[in-house]
A and B are shown apart, each in its own frame.
Chain A
Amino acid sequence: MNAENLIALLIAAPLLGAAVLLVGGRRLDAVGHWVGTLLSAASFVIGVILFADLLGKDAEHRTLTQHLFSWIPVEGFQADVAFRLDQLSMTFVLLITGVGSLIHLYSIGYMEHDERRRRFFGYLNLFLAAMLLLVLADNYLLLYVGWEGVGLASYLLIGFWQHKPSAATAAKKAFLVNRVGDMGLSIAIMLMFTTFGTFAFGPLLGTHAEPGLAGGASEGKLTAIALMLLLAACGKSAQVPLQSWLGDAMEGPTPVSALIHAATMVTAGVYLIVRSAAIFNAAPDAQLVVTVVGAVTLLFGAIVGCAKDDIKKALAGSTMSQIGYMVLAAGLGPIGYVFAIMHLVTHGFFKAGLFLGAGSVMHGMNDEVDMRKYGGLRTYMPVTFITFGLGYLAIIGFPGLSGFFSKDKIIEAAFAKGGTEGWILGGAALLGAAITAYYMTRVMLMTFFGEKRWQPDENGNEPHPHESPRVMTIPMIVLAVGSVFGGAIFGIGDRFLHWLEPVTGHSHGDSPVSALTVTLATVVVLVIGGAIAYAQYGRRPVPAVAPRGSLLTRAARRDLLQDDFNHVVLVRGGEHLTRSLVYVDHTLVDGVVNGTAAGFGGLSGRLRRVQNGFARSYAVSMFGGVALLIAATLLMRAV
């Protein structure tokens, strides 16, 4: 059996799981979670087999394609259901199915007391299938299907506890904001079709040996396409200005936050940009916009993360910030593509681990999310503490751990952009690293160190912090191991670089500062950030009620006023716009239409009187007509 034929099975396994679990109904309640987990694991196993197959080939021949059937076979418009498995997709497949399987496992414990657990697993499997379709699609249209599919799964899972109004609202918000981005993707696909006549990856993007059609169009068109793709990426990856949904998305169950809103789905935007590298490379203006978006978002997310007392929202700000790093790297072009993906993978490990740790804490604390009510948890839940701590070290970029290798490379690449831009972007990335160290240390200290601050709730139930069951800790341990060693495995000897280079290409920029300097600077800023956090939260007791704080803190607590901005500009503006449009519609458009109708109505009312029903009246008009005809004939003869 050829390896190509396995590709469809990757998607089919979780899709089958989703179908079985969602259609099967209550009689599957008892085994549903195991079915979902096993099918997810099966997909992972197939992924590993394919990975082994790819490794067995030359670097240049590691692209497998599978043509399933013609989806829209129209003359001049060919859309196939075809899959492409190359090094980039392979990386994603392993990340999605691997982390996905671990989170499935974790969810078995986390969702144990939820009576709709089967449905939850159905949605998770649906998400996996859609995400795999997204990364395996061989053309943009099929990618769009996956793109919408993950959006749907995200909506369903954020609003999984729809009995809570906040969850329902958050789901709706995520869906609506994502639609803006989706509109960008659909416009980009249409532009591609009109410009190139195709949207298949093969002819469009080409390979290194023979560049595809993408280089052939005018730069203006390419920039337009690239900006639309960026809009799509912003929506899906919660980048400024479409970032507002991610914080609210934490209303979903924690495994969802870990899988979808940290490790996989939100990185789809990065995948889209890296996959469309051929387009972005030919549109330098668009690339600059991408880097700016990335830099702004990484600072934005980091600042928001500093101010949040809700552990999941602090982590969500961190996610936004880290994806900002990836987008920044992707915008740098061939210097950064590989590191964007590398950071994506390592981030997938440590952020999923952090979220699972947060979920474990919540599990032990009666679903309390306010960090000001934690404190001193390290003795109560040691496994969680150790795994969370390893994730913490990885994300701040502690030397030797995974985050260090990937983030350090991105900062280096940002400086290598050269010129003023390089300094600004590099500085922003470095500043981001310092803030990352600050807020992560803050989360760490507030949760696991200091005095215990929890109080009995109004019913007198005092939380009894306890370690989570093994089904939850095992995935955390595996992810922690990944967080520790992933970077080293990828980074040392540039293994990841060599693996991905055939797809994304790579170039070494001329950095104005040496790699060693960057590394040292990174270490220094993270020590500074950590030290400030320690001074604020480790030395002094943490107040149970948040102090009023500075203006920036208060703004950051409100997500840097993003919702207010959206409300004032988009909601109010939209309302005014629609009201004025309705007014114009009523007065002008309806006026013209109704006026015409009324005019014709009145005219017909008059003309109706001619139709009096008397044959003699009609005869008169006929006779008059004959007279006119004779007159016309005579006139024609006279002329």
Chain B
Amino acid sequence: MTAPLAAYTTSTGEAFQFWVLGTVAVLGALGTVFMRRAVHSALCLAGTMIVLAVFYLANGAYFLGIVQIVVYTGAIMMLFLFVVMLVGVTAADSLKETIKGQRWLALLCGAGFGILLFAGIANASLKQFNGTGRANANGNVEGLAALIFTKYVFAFEITGALLITAAVGAMVLTHRERTERPRTQRELAEQRVREGVHLPPLPAPGVYARHNAVDIAGLLPDGTPSELTVNKTLRERGQVRDVSTEALNDLRALERRAEERLERTEIEPSIAKRPEEASK
């Protein structure tokens, strides 16, 4: 498929490409909507965007195709991923609907909207390509530049202002003003003494025999997990993994094996299975 050809006609190759990549795009879109984790949604969306970039190229919009990949997929999607990371990568959403009738109404409206849109396109009067060959004759980028700096120069300037405003706005929104002097280490220590809790450093997370990850609560002597050992942020996100039952089960299994070996009968049946790694 050569560029001029793509500009005038829809060749068989392009048709093939459309059906294959179009399917991928739709699947990616559906994945964006229905994946439970935000990271997966973002990846699906990135895939759809790359497919769209290919379609831009196929439609003769070379500049946009590249920009789509570089700016959108490369920059904006990475921004999304940063935010997802801030909010919590592993946090999965429940897809259970909480507002009564919301899902059905949404699907009904979506279906109706889609059908109507399709009907509108089917009724469109212009059905074939004129092609971008002549418009791209001096090069696609040069053509765009000529338009942007002549016909659309005001809109261009205004979008520039918009971008600056957005940048400043984002800074204002995320900036947190410190209203008080940060407390020094001495002050913090004095406060701890005054309140009388946790004078020594906080206990470390992890159960060193099996796990040493930061999101696993350390076990107390009786085998119950201590929330204190896990970082506060993880605790608030609810990303603490509890392996206490695992340890207890292991202990119980050990005892049972020991008793079997010592030929002591009257064994209780196992009460708990080894649980999956629980994540909320």
Contacts and interface: CB of A to CB of B under 8 A. Distances in A.
Asked if A and B form a direct contact in the complex, defined as CB atoms under 8 angstroms apart, the reply is: yes
Contacts of B106: 616, 620, 623
B99 interface: yes
Contact of A626 (B99, B102, B113, B119): B113
B105 A620 contact: yes
B102 A617 contact: yes
A623 B117 contact: no
B223 interface: no
A434 B110 CA distance: 105
Nearest to B110: A623
Interface string A602-628: 000000000010101100100110110
A634 B99 contact: no
Contacts of B99: 612, 614, 616-617
A588 interface: no
B13 interface: no
Given A620-B109, A624-B109, A630 B102 contact: no
A623 B123 contact: no
A630 B119 CA distance: 10
A623 B113 contact: yes
A138 to B, nearest CB: 76
B204 to A, nearest CB: 43
Contact of A620 (B102, B116, B119, B123): B102
B139 interface: no
A624 to B, nearest CB: 5
Interface string B112-124: 1100110110010
Contact of B119 (A616, A617, A634): A634
Contacts of A617: 99, 102
Interface string A508-520: 0000000000000
Contacts of A539: none
Given A616-B99, A620-B105, A630 B110 contact: no
A631 interface: yes
A382 B113 CA distance: 115
A631 B118 CA distance: 11
A630 B117 CA distance: 8
A627 B105 contact: no
Nearest to B108: A624
Contacts of A614: 99, 102
Contacts of B109: 620, 623-624, 627
Contacts of A634: 116, 119-120, 123
A637 interface: yes
Contacts, number: 36
A637 B116 CA distance: 13
A634 B120 CA distance: 7
Contacts of A631: 112, 116
Contacts of B117: 630
Contacts of A623: 106, 109-110, 113
B113 A630 contact: yes
Interface centre among A620, A631, A633 (most CB of B within 10 A): A620
Interface string B244-264: 000000000000000000000
Nearest to A629: B116
B80 to A, nearest CB: 20
Interface string B88-102: 000000000001001
A626 B110 CA distance: 10
B108 to A, nearest CB: 8
Contacts of A624: 105, 109, 112
B109 to A, nearest CB: 5
Contacts of A637: 123
Interface centre among B109, B113, B120 (most CB of A within 10 A): B109
A314 to B, nearest CB: 90
Interface residues of B, dominant DSSP: helix
Nearest to B105: A620
A614 B120 CA distance: 31
Nearest to A625: B109
B101 to A, nearest CB: 9
Contacts of B123: 634, 637
Contacts of A620: 102, 105-106, 109
A630 B105 contact: no
Interface string A150-169: 00000000000000000000
Interface in B108-150: 109-110, 112-113, 116-117, 119-120, 123
A627 B102 contact: no
A627 B112 contact: yes
Contacts of A616: 99, 102, 106
A337 to B, nearest CB: 89
A594 B123 CA distance: 52
A633 B110 CA distance: 18
A627 B105 CA distance: 12
A605 to B, nearest CB: 17
Nearest to B97: A616
A575 B148 CA distance: 86
A106 B139 CA distance: 123
Nearest to A638: B123
Contacts of A630: 113, 116-117, 120
Nearest to A626: B113
A60 to B, nearest CB: 90
A630 B112 CA distance: 10
Nearest to B115: A627
Nearest to B119: A634
A612 B100 CA distance: 10
Contacts of A612: 99
A31 B39 CA distance: 106
A623 B117 CA distance: 13
A627 B113 contact: yes
Interface in A448-470: none
A626 B109 CA distance: 9
Contacts of B120: 630, 633-634
Contacts of B105: 620, 624
Contacts of B102: 614, 616-617, 620
A388 B105 CA distance: 103
A554 B40 CA distance: 111
B5 to A, nearest CB: 35
A344 B58 CA distance: 116
A463 to B, nearest CB: 97
A616 B109 CA distance: 13
Interface string B43-84: 000000000000000000000000000000000000000000
B116 to A, nearest CB: 4
A624 B113 CA distance: 8
Contacts of B116: 627, 630-631, 634
A637 B105 CA distance: 27
Nearest to A630: B116
Interface string B160-178: 0000000000000000000
Contacts of A633: 120
A259 B123 CA distance: 99
Contacts of B112: 624, 627, 631
A631 B112 CA distance: 9
A122 to B, nearest CB: 75
A626 B113 CA distance: 8
A616 B105 CA distance: 11
Nearest to B100: A612
Nearest to A614: B99
10 contacts: A614-B99, A616-B99, A620-B109, A626-B113, A627-B109, A627-B116, A631-B112, A634-B119, A634-B120, A634-B123
Given A616-B99, A620-B106, A627-B112, 17 more contacts: A612-B99, A614-B102, A616-B102, A617-B102, A623-B110, A624-B105, A624-B109, A624-B112, A626-B113, A627-B109, A627-B113, A627-B116, A630-B117, A630-B120, A634-B120, A634-B123, A637-B123
Interface of B: 99, 102, 105-106, 109-110, 112-113, 116-117, 119-120, 123
5 closest cross-chain pairs (CB), A and B: A627-B113, A630-B116, A624-B109, A623-B109, A627-B112
Interface of A: 612, 614, 616-617, 620, 623-624, 626-627, 630-631, 633-634, 637
